[in-house]
Amino acid sequence: MTKLSVNINKLATLRNSRGGNMPNLITSAKDIESFGAQGITIHPRPDERHIRYQDSRDLKKVVTTEFNIEGNPIPKFIDLVLEVKPTQVTLVPDAENAITSNAGWNTVKHKDFLIDVISTFKENGIRTSIFVDPDDNMVKGAAETGTDRIELYTESYAVEFTKDNKEEGIAPFIKAAEMAHQVGLGLNAGHDLNLDNIKYFKEKIPHLLEVSIGHALICESLYLGLENVVNMYLDRLK
């Protein structure tokens, strides 16, 4: 079964909008795990507009499943990850002012930088993953950095799915997944996956270890309930 890691950034956005502690991220993370999710993902950004750096430290104390911290490996982020030591760190090349992640790494151009950062994390016992587009050259380049896994950036698939072009949309992801397996990389995926498109993605993508879902899952939970939605995802990922 592909594991579900729930990104709780949107819960932090809601909390921060009122300046208090509602919803409580610690309680939310523990509840989400109790509902069956196999991981918790956070993506702290330098301006801390949703997840705060202190949230990372606080969540580390209570998360009992896989704890995944995503972000651009600027010095402040690297220091945080080395302090917290999550199960996995996912490296994302997002600009500081980006609303959300919008591209994968050029693993060829940034090979030396990625090798250096990844070796530091792996020396500290932290599993590494690189956010990449579904491109064979980028997958091959990722393998040369020493990373354990890649996370396929799935926005293009989600867009094509809404246009009834799901076969065309999924094709590059199948190819990238097969390439990842060929070069010995574990495979994760995320971005704009939702209850409508996740089942087809899971059925078509070989060797898929984990998906990270946040925005859609929280939006769907407004109508259907958080516990119910978590289990709906788990059912589709079987």
Give me the catalytic one of 70, 160, 210, 220. 70
Provide CB contacts within 8 A for 135, sequence distance 6+.
104, 172, 176
Give me the catalytic one of 66, 151, 191, 210. 191
Q: What type of residue is 8?
A: I
Q: Would you call 191 a catalytic residue per the annotation?
A: yes
Q: Which residue intervals of the chain are DSSP H helices?
A: 9-16, 25-34, 53-60, 75-84, 111-123, 136-143, 155-162, 166-182, 198-204, 215-224, 226-236
Give me the catalytic one of 43, 50, 151, 220. 43
What's the CA gap between 165 and 180, in Å, rounded?
24
Q: 105-126 burial string, b = 16+ CB within 10 Å, else e?
A: bbbeebeeebeebbeebeeeeb
Residues catalogued as catalytic = 43, 70, 191
